[in-house]
Structure 1
Amino acid sequence: MKHPDGYPAGNPVSPEPLHALVEPGQAVNAAQKRPAGQNPATPAGTAPATSAFDDSTPLARELADINRRRRALAAQQLPLPPAPRVFTVANQKGGVGKTTTTVNLAAALARGGARVLVIDLDPQGNASTALGVDHRSETPSVYDVVINDAPVASVLQKSPEFDALYCVPATIHLAGAEIELVSLVAREQRLRTSLDRFLAETSEPFHYVFIDCPPSLGLLTINAFVAAREVLIPIQCEYYALEGLSQLLNNIKLIERHLNPVLSVSTILLTMYDGRTNLANQVAEDVRNHFPKEVLKTVIPRSVRISEAPSYGQSVISYDPSSPGSLSYLEAAAEISRRGAPA
């Protein structure tokens, strides 16, 4: 797969050396005008530079920071949980990076050695697309699990990205599942029943399960909350970021009280962060003040690479491993694994 500009996906393009940007005629003329014996990089009357790389520029500092973060990530070993941690990734507000966060955290943890399962419970199927799995209409999917009681193992697919990354895909049939669930017995607990049975019976245990649900509070989302133990909420660092959050938290408390007493909001991740703006910094500060224990230290920056990756059927972790967005998701995954499950 190639980028629109012709370069292979996943390989950042190195800029051409400066001398390649000079016209041949210009290079010859410059050489003719230079006094004999003078270094072409050293103007007359000045001492030769000790280094061609100026580490005082913003770009140099950014590159140095990226290298430091890469070395730190390479040196650490992610701890694996003793029992599967099941997350529902939710936010009733759309466009906050919910599916992107699901896919990239799952890929980051799989890259770190964990066995990870993503359950795509959103009828749009964007998580299935990003993980590169088949989700055409005739494909066995999560619809068969929640409506027809199919075993999770019968619809499971391995993502081509990592050997330890799996997906239960969503198909177009899931769009009508809300109506079909209304008349079914134990309609709020169908996903939990199937998932618990699968996790108990599988020969190779999974360490993490991420459920990507639609940005609305219907029966599919309720099934996701009932099946999970933890809720991860992505919040964009933009205006209206906290809009609807109180309603989401109230709904989670209702589900905790009546359907799933072990459910808790364990993690909040700030996304689409642009440190150059006062607004992003103010939103981040407000969220941290309201949820000091839940908010991760890591923030996910705005990134073209993160936006491009799904169109190539990849997470940003494999699409561009050295990009700031990839490093941020790797750091967030490491932070989640070190925190451990809530008591």
Structure 2
Amino acid sequence: MVKKKIKQIAIYGKGGIGKSTTTSNLSAALVQAGYKVMQFGCDPKSDSTNTLRGGKYIPTVLDTLREKNVVKAEEVVFEGFHGVYCVEAGGPAPGVGCAGRGIITAVQLMKQQKVFDELDLDFVIYDVLGDVVCGGFAVPIREGIAEHVFTVSSADFMAIYAANNLFKGIQKYSHAGGALLGGVIANSINAPYAREIIDDFVQRTHTKVIEYVPRSVTVTQSELQGKTTIEAAPNSEQAKVYSSLAQKIAEHVESSTPSPLELKELREWAAKWGNHLLALETGEIRTEAAGI
């Protein structure tokens, strides 16, 4: 019998950008489409999977290891919405150790106990903090644990700065079997200029936008109920966007090495856009004017 190839995906993004919201809705949409999915929370806050479980937090791999020397997979793998498997790597005690160590430990545990194969998974989705340049957080890329990387970014400079840093990491490990970039998930894209900024950035870094996700009050309403939008508002426009994203990621085959901007280039690029937006604000130019 031929062993099924599991599609392993890492989703990065700076803190507060909507990365866990996007990842959880992606997982929910994929399980709804009939795939077997595990979501692997890699943020020390351990809150990646709670909207898949009615707002409930689950014991993390590192916390469980602190209580006992040997951890069985069933003690840290929990089922959520539509049977999506949820794991939280966790972090060290505050002020001690490397926040990325949980990822390394948790992945080793899953591999030793052959959890991915036994659960017959189609997807493992790692939800990784993307604004900390730390060895642990780079593991899914560096070790090639994830095959495809997607980054969640808005049109804000710090989000783009974090995405550009991630591109540098992918580029660095791309020659040594590291993960490659699948594309950018453009989040909170409501104003026309936000889409233009993201489009310009991906063009300059030889990448692509895989989906544009608008900011929506539906997401806030759903999360206040401890649910994903897919579960709480399945017929909403926002749920359709997440379902579209899930389909594109399910069909995604070929990732590539991005071409990150040097810091000086990024600063100059941002300054031009800053001037452009100021001119829009003051009415010096109309929205459709280009010139960047």
- TM-score range (shorter-chain normalised) is 0.7 to 0.9
Q: What is residue 53 of structure 2 aligned with on the other side?
A: 132
The whole-number CA distance in structure 2 between the counterparts of 1:157 and 1:188 is: 17
Q: RMSD of aligned C-alpha atoms?
A: 3.2
Tell me, yes or no, if the aligned pair for 2:19 and 2:127 is still in contact at 8 Å. Answer: yes
Is 1:111 the counterpart of 2:25 in the alignment? Answer: no
TM-fit CA distance, 1:289: 1.5
Q: 1:204 to 1:189 in 2, by over 3 A?
A: closer
Residue 171 of structure 2 aligns to a residue in which SS?
helix
Could you tell me how far apart the structure 2 residues matched to 1:105 and 1:286 are? 25
Rounded to whole Å, the distance in 2 between the matches of 1:176 and 1:204 is 30
Higher Rg: 1
CA distance in 1, matches of 2:198, 2:116: 42
Q: Do the aligned partners of residues 206 and 94 (structure 1) sit closer, same or farther apart at CA in structure 2, a change above 3 Å counting?
A: same
Q: Residue 28 of structure 2 aligns to which amino acid in structure 1?
A: A
Aligned-residue offset at 1:247: 2.0
After TM superposition, list the pairs within 5 Å mapping 1:38-53 onto structure 2. none
Q: Deviations over 1:280-322 (max 9, x none)?
A: 13113213423565421x3111101112222212110011012
| TM-score, L = length of structure 1 | 0.62
Aligned residues: 248
Q: Is 1:307 the equivalent of 2:217?
A: no
Q: State whether residues 170 and 178 of structure 2, in contact with CA within 8 Å, keep that contact through their aligned partners in structure 1.
A: no
Of residues 285-294 and 94-103 in structure 1, the stretch that sits farther from structure 2 once superposed is 285-294
1:290 aligned residue (198, 204, 214): 204
Alignment check: 8 A CA contact 2:218 2:238 kept: yes
Cα 1:134/1:301, change in 2 over 3 Å: closer
Deviation at 1:241, TM superposition (A): 4.2
d(CA) in 2 for partners of 1:125 and 1:324? 28
Q: Which runs of 5+ in 1 are unaligned?
A: 1-80
Which residue of the partner structure matches residue 142 of structure 1? Answer: 61
Q: Which amino acid aligns with 2:29?
A: A
Give, in whole Å, the separation in 1 of the partners of 2:253 and 2:95: 33
Work out which of the residue numbers 154, 172, 179 in structure 2 matches 1:263: 179
CA contact (8 A) 1:119 1:167 kept: yes
Q: Aligned residues: percent identity?
A: 19
- CA distance, structure 1, for counterparts of residue 7 and residue 95 of structure 2: 26
**1:1-343 paired onto structure 2 within 5 Å:** 82-91=4-13, 93-132=14-53, 140-144=59-63, 150-159=71-80, 161-163=81-83, 165-169=84-88, 174-176=91-93, 179-180=96-97, 189-199=104-114, 202-214=117-129, 215-225=131-141, 226=143, 227-256=145-174, 261-274=177-190, 277-290=191-204, 294-296=208-210, 298-340=211-253, 342=255
CA–CA distance in structure 1, aligned partners of residues 103 and 59 of structure 2: 21
Partner Cα distance (2:79, 2:243) in 1: 21
Per-residue deviation at 1:257?
Answer: 5.3
User: Any gaps of 5 or more consecutive residues in structure 2?
Assistant: 257-292
Maintained 8 Å contact 2:54/2:227 = no
State the distance in 2 between where 1:246 and 1:143 align.
30
